Amino acid sequence: MEPIRQHQGLVYPINRANIDTDQIIPKQFLKRIERQGFGQFLFYNWRYDDDGNVRSNFSLNDPKYKDASILVAGENFGCGSSREHAPWSLQDYGFKVIVAPSFADIFFNNCVKTGILPVQLTTKETEVLIANAEAKEYKLTVDLEQEKVYDSEGFNASFSLSAYQREMLLNGWDEISVTLTHEDKISEFEAATSR
Amino acid sequence: MQPKTIVEKIWDKHVVHQEKDKPDLLYIDLHLVHEVTSPQAFEGLRMKGRKVRRPDLTYATMDHNVPTLDRYFIKDPVSKKQMDTLKDNCEEFGITLADIDHPDQGIVHVIGPELGLTQPGKTIVCGDSHTSTHGAFGALAFGIGTSEVEHVLATQTLWQAPPKTLNVKVNGELGKGVTAKDLILAIIAKFGVRFGTGYVIEYTGDAVKSLTMEERMTVCNMSIEAGARAGLISPDETTFEFLQGKRHVPDGEAFDKAVQEWKALATDPDATYDATVEINGDEIEPQVSWGTNPGMCIPVNETIPSPEDANSASEKEEIERALEYMGLEAGQPITSVNVDHVFIGSCTNSRLSDLRRAADIVIGKKVSDHVTAIVVPGSQTIKLLAEAEGLDKVFLDAGFEWREAGCSMCLAMNDDVIPYGERCASTSNRNFEGRQGNGARTHLVSPEMAAAAAIEGHFIDVRKYTVPSFSS
Ligand code: SF4
């Protein structure tokens, strides 16, 4: 997993609450057995019509967001299924940071494991970011070490992640390797509880 | 001793390692695996040369892609590859698999309890958000992503912060014709689709205690639709009675001993929760969802909400979007809405008692001319039991199709897809846009309500029917 410390990028706003994982990546694309290449299917049914034509009225299809790497959305982002294909598709598409007033638990967790930084700000703060990014080409800087989000015009907000999740993302650690350093404890537990 | 909730008791028994500024390392007793969320996890193990630590605590089946007409004819080569991959992975890593031709095959959350793999006090995970179903037995069961699937395969543990607990207390009793499905839909409609986020829900109260195990599974199944990763019910006599005699449950003296341990798991009388909400079971009516998330539900005799009733601009927009997607008018009675399809199935409502209650409604009647109706049992075992009672005949005579076990139209990953713009009364758990097919319009209901909609061709208050199960 690639470490993530500080990221500056273009913001893509999507002003909807309860964006579920069926919207982020529809089920017909979950049949693949690979981990790569899901970006093309991100928000598929919103980006394309039934015949596969581009829907010009969906904002992600607007060329001005082509290079966006920070997604800002409404409440409860990533609700629904546990499919890690959702963060995989966001990451493969080019998103490194997701900002929202709240996230679904499993999705939040899956982001951290995938190496996407989920940033929880207040509803007011996300509304400001959404308004800015809708109005103009808008860049943000997200600093995980300082746990800060800021722009060049005076916006400045803080967020927090658990110490553990922060470490994982900052270092890009392989969690299984970390856990296996405690293998003796796992074996002891199994022996003590006859598992 | 400090009184504890069942969640705290299970937690304490599973902590392998604790250190400052870290979540706890929690031992996992049962890891259920299916074909969709596991291939990348096994591939990860292979790339690092790792083994599955405890294949004996891991159990796999195929459910999401399985065809329900001819189960051996998998049209889509990508689906077939995914299923073949699970088979190869299970062989390579020594995991028991209820394969497509295995009598135990079925939806992962149906077969776990059926085989007695699901037991009180266990920590259970699966790469599937409806793993909360197993909480009905007083297990701590939750869905995980594929990275965590790989982590559990390799280490049989997960790093988890102790969850907050939320008591959802259901007072009184449910009325006739009002089911566990209506209860959970009403809870989500009342408290919203994110009230459980960050919590483990424990369902308590008289109306919950009097539910059967199958009904409890229906309730716990949809905890994730309230945002909660897990939902559970303290085990009691109903639980023990269900478990006795199941294949993986100890028998004889060992069973009695297990029951003593399981009894001690129940939440202590004076234990405290981080939050509590209450709802009155007597006031709940049969529910129908009208929108595009499971909180968008109304009692069957009400009218579809208007964007003008919204409390905020964003809610207003959400209602407008939902009405447009669903092709509905604000103020329209939900009973005036015609359906094109009826689906009875999914890990929420595909168990034997669900099929029996639906059969009670349709017996001797005919499915409306403009409706296509299918029944998809949750497992091969349920299918055979239902056939032994003649339920298949009841459904077939009424004009339903009787299919093979699998997830089917719940998420339409196989060939069972609702066409664009068509409307389905479904006993499943999610009415998200496109869930049952691109442009498909899903209405979540109980099996009884789905069966009645199939007969009438539109939604109807199922309490207008007089059937034996309403008087019991
Ligand atoms: S029946 Fe539906 S919700 Fe349940 S496991 Fe299958 S796809 Fe998921």
Instruction: Give residue B402's pLDDT.
Output: 98
> Which among B35, B61, B63, B217 is the best mutation to test ligand 1's pocket, defined by most ligand atoms within 8 Å of the CB?
B63
Asked if A20 reaches chain B (Cβ–Cβ under 8 Å), the answer is: yes
Q: Within an 8 Å CB–CB cutoff, is residue A109 touching chain B?
A: yes
| Distance from the B452 Cα atom to the nearest Cα atom in chain A, whole angstroms | 28
Length of chain A: 195
For ligand 1, residues with CB inside 6 Å are B 63-64, 107, 109, 128, 130, 346-347, 407, 410-411, 428-429
3-state secondary structure of B61: strand
Inspect the interface and report whether the beta carbons of A26 and B151 lie closer than 8 Å: no
Question: Looking at residues B443-459, what average pLDDT do you find?
Answer: 98
Nearest to B447 by CA among B287, B240, B297, B277: B287
Q: Facing residues of B26 across strands?
A: B15, B158
Q: Above 50 in pLDDT, residue B160?
A: yes
Is it the case that residue B156 has pLDDT exceeding 80? yes
Whether residue A84 contacts residue B146, with contact meaning beta carbons closer than 8 Å, is answered with yes
Nearest CA in chain B to A164: B22
What is the average per-residue pLDDT within A68-79? 98
- Average of per-residue pLDDT across B86-92: 98
Main-chain dihedrals φ then ψ at residue B398, nearest 5 degrees: -80, -10
In residues, how long is chain B? 472
Task: Pick the residue whose CA is nearest to atom 4 on ligand 1.
Answer: B347
Counting ligand 1 atoms within 8 A of each CB, the residue from B134, B347, B354, B374 with the most, and so the one to mutate, is: B347
How many angstroms separate the CA of residue B34 from the nearest CA in chain A?
12
What is the pLDDT, as a whole number, of residue B472?
A: 45
Q: Does residue A74 sit within a domain?
A: yes
A189 part of a folded domain? yes
pLDDT given for residue B471 in this prediction: 52
Is A81 domain-assigned? yes
**Pairwise CB contact (< 8 Å): A105 & B227:** yes
Which amino acid would we find at residue B10?
Answer: I
Among B119, B120, B136, B123, CA closest to B26: B123
**Hey, is the C-beta of A186 within 8 angstroms of any chain B C-beta?**
yes
- For residue A91, is it within any domain? yes
For the domain that residue A162 is a member of, what is the CATH number? Answer: 3.20.19.10
The pLDDT-based confidence of A47 (bands split at 50, 70, 90) is: very high
Judge whether residue A35 has pLDDT over 60: yes
State yes or no: pLDDT of B469 exceeds 90: no
Nearest-atom number in ligand 1 for the CA of B109 is: 5
Question: Side chain identity at B341, as an amino acid letter?
Answer: H
Q: If DSSP codes are grouped into helix, strand and coil, which group holds residue B326?
A: helix
Q: How many CB atoms lie within 10 A of CB B274?
A: 13
Number of domains in chain A: 1
| Amino acid B467: pLDDT | 80
Within 8 A of B79 by CB-CB distance, chain A residues are 31
- Eight-class DSSP state of B91: H
Query: Cα–Cα distance between B297 and B236 in angstroms, integer?
Result: 31
Average predicted confidence (pLDDT) for chain A: 96
Contact flag A186-B43 (C-beta cutoff 8 Å): no
* Inside any domain, residue A101: yes
The residue whose C-alpha atom lies closest to atom 6 belonging to ligand 1 is: B407
Question: A128 CB near a chain B CB, below 8 Å?
Answer: no
Q: ipTM value of the model?
A: 0.95
Cβ(B220)–Cβ(B136) below 8 Å: yes
Residue A1 lies in a domain: no
Which of B198, B432, B439, B445 lies closest to B334 in space, CA to CA? Answer: B445
**Structural domain harbouring A80:** 6-193
Mean pLDDT of all residues in B300-309: 97
Q: Residues of B221-245 as b/e, b for ≥16 C-beta within 10 angstroms?
A: bbbbbbbbbbbbbbbeebbbebbee
pLDDT reading at B219 higher than 60: yes
CA A41 to chain CA centroid, Å, is 15
Q: Which of B404, B403, B402, B433 is nearest to B418 (CA)?
A: B433
pLDDT at A113 over 90: yes
User: Across the interface, which of A16, A50, A164 has its CB nearest the CB of B420?
Assistant: A50
Per-residue pLDDT of B98-131, as tens digits, reads 999 999 999 999 999 999 999 999 999 999 999 9
A131 interfacial to chain B (CB closer than 8 Å): no
CB contacts, 8 Å: B82 with chain A: 31-33
| DSSP state at residue B147 | H
Mean pLDDT of chain B: 97
pLDDT digits (tens, 9 = 90+) for A12-29: 999 999 999 999 999 999
Return the pLDDT at A139: 98
Which of B17, B154, B228 minimises the CB distance to A185? B17
